[in-house]
Structure 1
Amino acid sequence: DSTTNAETISSTTTEDTISSTAAAAEAFLATLSDEQREPVLYDFDDETKTTSWSNFPVTFVQRAGLNLPELTDEQKTAALEVLQALLSDEAYDTVSGIMGGDEYLHENSSTTEQSLGQYCIAFFGDPSDTSAFEVQFSGHHLGINATLDGATDAITFAPSHLGVQPAVYTDAFAFFDSLTVEQQATLTSGDVNMCAPGDTCDFTTGDGLTGADLTDEQKQLLLDLIANWSGMADEQTTADSRAKIKATLDDTVIAWSGETTYDMSTGGGISFSISGPDVYVAFQAQQGSAGADVEGVSTTGWGHVHTIYRDPTNDHANSVTQQAASGMGAPAGAPADGAAPGSTPSN
């Protein structure tokens, strides 16, 4: 369900998105006191942006900015309007669904995690339609890092984390089902990898099915799948991102682990990775409910999903270098009760 009733009007050009997002950010900042503004605004090249997004709960990895539950209703609405200006209608619905899923778990599950439903908003650089700034919106199952640059008329969402529990997903199988038996065998024999938040990554591709192995129709389905992460803004930004990724798609490697038939009533879900010169996507169906069991609702395997989107050439628009995390922010290992499992997928 939508988390705000404010009317959404999607932009169609990158310039419009940058302008409307900057205006919404300024409107949000205007609702804050001087004391509240201080933790929201960072220098554009502050390395905090690389360590304050995570797929771990807010109580384990500190996020930058102000936490929405600490805001007034007016301020919360203004914060969410920044997301509405930034995202397409479809992407905003996805984000709202992720937030709604966390609220559902908090109210209905056996989880001991107290930070479900907490989301922090921060800006790196002054919001402007003439220079670069980054919007960071982060919680347990959501870590958006969107860099908007009015000087170059460009937007990137790399790196970002989208997750949800409980979850339903079908786009991956539209691509999988388009493959021949031989292609599927190559795909499932490949090396699924996870380049998680807090991991500097060498973006090794490993073995698997390559874009060069695909037909034109299969390539379009793969690009459609990637667009769930790379195409979260307006039509022009999405088209530009798609063209960049398509140009090196032949050198992109896709690997798959887990079920090969979409049937949420059985099995343990799937994991896949897409590793190329200009795109990295990792999708993991977590093997466990993370202590968030709901009677009659599937939240294990199929239903508990973490995903990562990164760009080997352009994370954070090259404004900073990703810093390695420590402790709970590390990319592997089992966190405490109530948190998500470690970030390394089972092959």
Structure 2
Amino acid sequence: MSIVSVRRCFATKSVNKSRGSPHRWLKKADEEDDLKTRAAKEESAELREAKKRIKLLEQEAEVTRRAVAYLSRDNQPKMMFPLVLDLAADGVPVAVTCRVLNFSKQAFYKWKSNPVPVRDWEEAHLINAAINVHADDPAFGYRFIADELNAGDKPVASERRIWRLCSANGILSVIHRKRVGGRKAGPPVHDDLLERDFSAAAPDTKWVTDITEHPTGEGKLYLCAIKDLHSNRIVGYSIDGRMKASLAVTALAHAVALRSPSGTVVHSDRGSQFRSRKFVSTLHANGLNGSMGRVGACGDNAAMESFFALLQKNVLNRKRWETRQELRLAITTWIERTYHRRRRQKALGKLTPIEFETINNMALAA
């Protein structure tokens, strides 16, 4: 009951005007008013707390949404601090953004006081200088660029630092050829029986083999060749548009059909074609002994690499080959006519491989 109600009761004389009644009614009215006021205050506090919580959740959701969009751009940022500034400009507190992105406010304010470190500033100038040097001569790699930048009295930066900056910003020589990373070579299926001894006292005692490739207008063409270390003759080869195990197996079958060897050591690298089950089975079926060099040691198969270097210089690099058939014919012609019958070798006493074998076969027959 409110004070107004009490007064109305007194005015209409509808209540008992005993001595203690007004005080009791006034006290009861005050208690009712206090309960309503307290309930209203509690409800208002809960409402304010709920609104505050909803606003905080909306800010956190906005931080997450903007962070995902910020990181999905093509130019990946090195840090998230610029995003904190953008969100702060839109009314999102720094503390909320730092908590959602999981870094401290101290780190952000430290970056804000010095957003561009001295080292980054120096490297930006080095990158610009490297770009200018490379623009003058696109054939310059990082070594020449470092020499140009350090040509003054005081060195500007180390060669290693210039390499890192050029590599990160794509400042490469126009004659640079990107290395194509392949799968790690598997374990050898044979021991190294040659150990870089590429001399052979008799024919068909030591063979070396490898695979090379060359692009054409129709795609790559692969050559697997087998070389006899006694006369340096190519005793078998196979040419195909795909580098499969059958490429090496066909070359080996060609050599076996031509020479009919027995106990010959066939040395190769650790390519998957030479470790395949078909190639190993062909070796064992014809009484041949497999041999393999180490990973990444081209010197272990230097005799075959020298032949491919000659082929590269005399055939592959002479022109642009439009079709696989055109290049196949050129390779076959060069091997059978030029390399075997016309190209004299000092290691053979200035004889061709065919002449060397003919003379030695006549001596053996005699």
Q: TM-score range by the shorter chain?
A: under 0.3
TM-score when scaled to structure 1? Answer: 0.22
Q: If each structure's helix is expressed as a fraction of its own residues, which one has the higher value?
A: 2
Larger relative contact order, structure 1 or 2 (CA cutoff 8 Å, min sep 6): 1
TM-score when scaled to structure 2? Answer: 0.22
Q: If each structure's strand is expressed as a fraction of its own residues, which one has the higher value?
A: 1
Pair member with larger Rg: 2
